[in-house]
Structure 1
């Protein structure tokens, strides 16, 4: 029996890879969290490769964490279009690439920045997605970003693994 119970519907999660993959990753992230970006930059190439090889199914959840330093990330996450997973992944990568700029903006400037730089707008389902992810966070005892669940084992903070050794 699984220790964690996340809502992994396509409407609230970027789901990547085969359901028959031998390994599963659930990642709870925020687009302006420096620790999330550091983890992403180090691990995304391996995750992408393992998904393509059929060795990993990845579920990306973006938490609108109620923390002032993450407010701009919350606004950026509202523009993730879960109905277009590949475009959403490109958007996520682009936001991470411009994270320093995004972090420095006043919150009221974020929508214009997202529109100008990424042609991105808040999605109609953003509030429902945020509520579903907030429920997942409470249900599964997630307190920080990034939080990773690899094969039903939770990692946070200093215990965050590099993906390749976990998968090899």
Structure 2
């Protein structure tokens, strides 16, 4: 099932908050609403990595990952991990996200206290994220009518894990070329 974007208000999505990966001066900003327990977020993260890692390393793209705490029972365990990531840790936080997504089956059915121990033992993480930060993402998602994860934004383009790498490259190149024309 493809993401129905008709009710989403991209104008309400900001680059404020979240985990920033890449150069803050990069011309393209990609905002990603994700939950680390979501198998579709895992698919998006892993399949888009070859494209996005290249653009990030070239300073053309900054990723803003907004870890979206969800009340859906199957995703609540992801909320626990979200609160243990150090948003200021640079590349380590990206590595931590990749680690937890790749190992969803190991920790995804643990009890909450066991997830806390897992994050601490496996990645040396302790509680970092404040409830205020978490609520900021929830409020922004509500204003934008983002209900599903992943929901990914490049300005007015809205998509999910079903986008192909070719389509993703095309959108980024269109935005980059438009920037060159506008200058």
TM range (shorter): 0.7 to 0.9
Which of 1, 5, 19 in structure 1 is aligned with 2:12?
5
For residues 47 and 67 of structure 1, what CA distance do their matches in structure 2 show?
A: 29
For residues 10 and 125 of structure 2, what CA distance do their matches in structure 1 show?
A: 36
TM-score relative to the length of structure 1: 0.86
Matches within 5 A, 1:1-168: 3-9=10-16, 12-123=17-128, 125-156=129-160, 158=162, 160-162=163-165, 163-168=168-173
For residues 17 and 112 of structure 1, what CA distance do their matches in structure 2 show?
A: 29
How many Å apart are 1:151 and its aligned residue?
2.6
1:124-146 CA distance string (max 9 Å, x none): x4312111100110111101000
How many Å apart are 1:110 and its aligned residue?
0.9
For residues 141 and 10 of structure 2, what CA distance do their matches in structure 1 show?
A: 14
Change (3 A) 1:157 1:47: closer
Over aligned residues, Cα RMSD in angstroms? 2.0
Can you give the 5+ residue segments of structure 2 that lack an aligned partner in the other structure? 1-8, 174-183
TM-score relative to the length of structure 2: 0.80
Work out whether residues 80 and 88 of structure 1, in 8 Å CA contact, stay in contact via their aligned partners in 2.
yes
How many Å apart are 1:157 and its aligned residue?
6.3
